[in-house]
Structure 1
């Protein structure tokens, strides 16, 4: 049985019969990416660095804020005079970094809009859970490069197929940890809510989701980091962002360019990881279930 040929036929059939739907998806995702990029590049880089630093201090700690201001300044190309000498500081990758943030934000948003409801459904229905688990295993174990092929066939080159491939690769942790978080809600809390006459929707939104929130946010953290890990791969099909200098370094054997691109990705990854981790920790410390 020619499985590869059958899959190729399926992709061609989707392309031939769902053209308007694919065009609509491409339009919506493309507009979301462009909107996020416009917002991130609207203010000067120094103003955005101040905003991100304040966010890091407020959400995480002074240490994370210090790392943020130093790391993000390193992404910019700063020139200043010292004792009559012109000194250049930074890598000049600010615009690439903001493009990457726009791609990550779009892919993460789609992953959460799909992953959290599916995780809730799987937690409530064992049959759905049994169906979803092997699908998630497939999504996580399939090499990420493979996702690029149907994405390019259906959407062409550019940022949109990069976001689609990133969404497929980054969604499983969100589904799994949402499912796990709701299933781990204590039976005592559920029984107490039932004794007060809670409806299924009240049970979900006032008891289960608040108690599962730290676990769900851990899934969000993993989704963000997996989305960032797709940056270089997505750059191979024209998604742009910080993957471009890394790909350029590989193709042209420019070690310095590739190193700077990789270092910029590390800075962005640490910033996003610390912020999302801190949000999860605060949610775990402050969220209390209610009934009514």
Structure 2
């Protein structure tokens, strides 16, 4: 047994008491601050559940066609969505999709500005990078504990945990994309008298869009990877079906719900990748054939 050099119980007690103090004194304020996230999630979920199934299929198939201008991806998207309907997973899939979309939109709003800030300051990058490392490597169950203590079981802690888990790739790739813009292009834009804001929105972000879109793709996939864990604290959706399959030892329920998650991942992964390839082709970065 490893020798006990110090007594860690006071430190553990201090951490627990500190979090309990936050819950007692700041829970109402934190819930009020997080309420826009809940409003966003419920609005997306209500919209998806209320929309006719055929309209959602038509929209996603249309987006797939715009992303590729070929018939293969729209057929895959159509078959995938029909699978969800045939297996009686449609409503749960819409709930899961709402969580994923809300988490991805929130991550985009937060992560891209942080990535821009990191790309412009080495010190900020040095400070933020360890935080991103911690967010990516810390087991998700660890930060579920304080969120559940503060907000209670429900959709808010599930959404916050999903955002924390899914945001780091977008921050990193936004920073990377902006920093790797061709210096000669940046120098030419300075020569034309553009200010930093004009260079950012007129040159850097357009040229970095394929990399940023790859970050959005990774964030979307990581958000979907959290749905089973998020279902443990009230997120519902396909993850809850998987959880029920485990609890009841119903292999079919867990298997088909798991396949439903895979189907959603395939649909959004292929669509975002295709848009990224389009952007690469437009700015001359597509791979040669």
| TM-score higher than 0.5 | yes
Q: 1:67 aligns with which of 76, 79, 84?
A: 76
Paired residues of 1:26 and 1:155 also in contact (CA < 8 A)? no
| Structure 2 Cα separation of the partners of residues 3 and 139 of structure 1 | 22
Further displaced range: 103-112 or 26-35: 26-35
- Identify unmatched segments of 5+ residues in structure 1: 77-89
Q: What's the secondary structure of 1:18's corresponding residue?
A: helix
Tell me what 2:19 maps to.
11
| Structure 2 Cα separation of the partners of residues 3 and 275 of structure 1 | 48
| Structure 1 Cα separation of the partners of residues 259 and 164 of structure 2 | 25
Paired residues of 2:245 and 2:251 also in contact (CA < 8 A)? yes
Q: In the comparison of the two structures, how many residue pairs are matched?
A: 275
After TM superposition, give the deviation of residue 228 of structure 1 in Å.
Answer: 0.4
After TM superposition, give the deviation of residue 6 of structure 1 in Å.
Answer: 4.0
| Structure 2 Cα separation of the partners of residues 179 and 7 of structure 1 | 33
Q: 2:161 aligns with which of 158, 165, 169?
A: 165
| Structure 2 Cα separation of the partners of residues 275 and 39 of structure 1 | 21
Check if 1:276 corresponds to 2:284.
no
TM-score normalized by the length of structure 2: 0.91
Structure 1 residues 196 and 5, CA gap change in structure 2 (3 angstroms): farther
| Structure 2 Cα separation of the partners of residues 151 and 69 of structure 1 | 37
After TM superposition, give the deviation of residue 3 of structure 1 in Å.
Answer: 5.0
The Cα offsets for residues 102-148 of structure 1, whole Å up to 9 and x where unpaired, read as 10111111111111111110110000000011111111011112121
Tell me what 1:80 maps to.
none
Paired residues of 2:49 and 2:94 also in contact (CA < 8 A)? yes
After TM superposition, give the deviation of residue 153 of structure 1 in Å.
Answer: 0.8
After TM superposition, give the deviation of residue 62 of structure 1 in Å.
Answer: 1.6
After TM superposition, give the deviation of residue 15 of structure 1 in Å.
Answer: 2.4
TM-score normalized by the length of structure 1: 0.90
Tell me what 2:45 maps to.
37
Structure 1 residues 236 and 188, CA gap change in structure 2 (3 angstroms): same
For residues 170-185 of structure 1, the aligned pairs below 5 Å read: 170-185=166-181
- Identify unmatched segments of 5+ residues in structure 2: 1-7, 285-289
| Structure 2 Cα separation of the partners of residues 172 and 7 of structure 1 | 25
Paired residues of 1:108 and 1:167 also in contact (CA < 8 A)? yes
| Structure 2 Cα separation of the partners of residues 194 and 62 of structure 1 | 43
| Structure 2 Cα separation of the partners of residues 92 and 101 of structure 1 | 15
Structure 1 residues 3 and 131, CA gap change in structure 2 (3 angstroms): farther
Tell me what 1:138 maps to.
134
Structure richer in strand, relative to its length: 1
Paired residues of 2:27 and 2:151 also in contact (CA < 8 A)? no
| Structure 2 Cα separation of the partners of residues 232 and 207 of structure 1 | 40
Check if 1:54 corresponds to 2:62.
yes
After TM superposition, give the deviation of residue 150 of structure 1 in Å.
Answer: 1.0
Q: 1:26 aligns with which of 22, 27, 34?
A: 34
Structure 1 residues 99 and 178, CA gap change in structure 2 (3 angstroms): same
